[in-house]
A = this chain, B = another copy of it.
């Protein structure tokens, strides 16, 4: 469910809503040139001031949004617009790009799958300047380790390019992290489908509904990223070089592909609900048939037995020698007749015949 850290309605813009439970911010700096990387965790955010003046590039990663003082200091050093800081702190914001005079703010949402296969969408805010990338995350858990590894190893263009390339690498890592989630969901959908056909348990209903809800979450997270990346590619902003725009086009394609798959999965999940409802109808039908067959065979027989259980004095059949065996024979005939009637209706044999061919010949 949707829960936004929003200021009290009508509060002045720029009000930060700091959640007492939120993680305290830790600030990790990776300072790099084409030749080398230096990594350290900052004790005092004021150390960041020196960073901006140097020639090297830096990635400052702020994890945790639980201390207004620290966040305001950072905003002060990097000249964040008050509204930009509000967007960073009052999560979740809709993914978007904000162009400021000398900086660019890109807000995106990364998806982390928990053990119950539920999506936890966390906001990553990427603030791009001429020689730094500043990222804010809600928590310490993220999908950016591969980017850190590439920075450390220095293979590929990542250390040789500008901060826009690093920003691209982060955006790309966020989007790529949706692929394994979709694969998990694809497998869950497949297993749900198999289960519905083979042995439709009751819990499946809730699991389909959960799947639909999670897919809605993914959709809500990924859809606006498409627009945001597109405006990164399209907008004239000197911070993004043309070379990086080409890479962003690739990101954009992946984003659209993820949207495609999500929409397909949502339709499949809706289809599964229909299949479940139908199979429920089939089972009710089965139950009804058993009842009807049992009742239709034995109720007439019980009636026949009832007739000859009557105590009339003048019931000549009761005295005949073969009354009893004749009646028993009649009862068997009735029972066999009913069974044949049901067999002709196909109520007795269907279960066997339905397991066969799944495609038409």
CA distance A346 to B322 in the complex (A): 41
Q: Which residues of B contact A2 (CB under 8 A)?
A: 182-183, 186, 261, 264-265
Is the CB of A299 closer than 8 A to any CB of chain B?
A: yes
CA distance A9 to B258 in the complex (A): 14
CA distance A303 to B307 in the complex (A): 10
Is the CB of A284 closer than 8 A to any CB of chain B?
A: yes
Chain-B contact segment, one of A10-18, A29-37, A71-79 = A10-18
Determine whether the beta carbon of B202 is less than 8 Å from that of A268. Answer: no
Determine whether the beta carbon of B358 is less than 8 Å from that of A1. Answer: no
Is the CB of A295 closer than 8 A to any CB of chain B?
A: yes
Tell me the residues in window 103-161 of chain A with beta carbons closer than 8 Å to chain B beta carbons.
Answer: 116-117, 143-147, 149-150, 155-158
Q: Which residues of B contact A301 (CB under 8 A)?
A: 303, 306
Contact of A303 among B250, B268, B302, B319 (CB under 8 A): B302
Determine whether the beta carbon of A295 is less than 8 Å from that of B284. Answer: no
Q: Which residues of B contact A169 (CB under 8 A)?
A: 10, 12
Is the CB of A53 closer than 8 A to any CB of chain B?
A: no
Determine whether the beta carbon of A277 is less than 8 Å from that of B277. Answer: yes
Is the CB of A193 closer than 8 A to any CB of chain B?
A: yes
Q: Which residues of B contact A264 (CB under 8 A)?
A: 2, 216, 220
Shortest beta-carbon distance, A159 to chain B, in Å? Answer: 11
Determine whether the beta carbon of B284 is less than 8 Å from that of A285. Answer: yes
Is the CB of A173 closer than 8 A to any CB of chain B?
A: yes
Chain-B contact segment, one of A40-48, A59-67, A309-317 = A309-317
The residue on B at minimum CB distance from A177 is: B9
Closest CB pairs A-B (n = 10): A10-B146, A10-B173, A305-B306, A9-B176, A1-B186, A202-B354, A12-B156, A308-B310, A291-B292, A309-B309
Q: Which residues of A does B touch, CB under 8 Å? A: 1-4, 6-14, 83, 86-87, 93-94, 96, 116-117, 143-147, 149-150, 155-158, 169, 172-173, 176-177, 179-180, 182-183, 186-193, 197, 199, 201-203, 205-207, 209-210, 212-213, 216, 220, 224, 246-247, 250, 253, 256-257, 260-261, 264-265, 267-268, 271-285, 287-292, 294-296, 298-303, 305-315, 317-324, 327-328, 346-347, 350-351, 353-360
16 examples of A-B residue contacts, CB within 8 angstroms: A2-B261, A4-B257, A10-B143, A10-B146, A10-B147, A10-B173, A116-B358, A193-B209, A206-B275, A212-B267, A216-B264, A277-B278, A284-B285, A299-B299, A302-B306, A313-B318
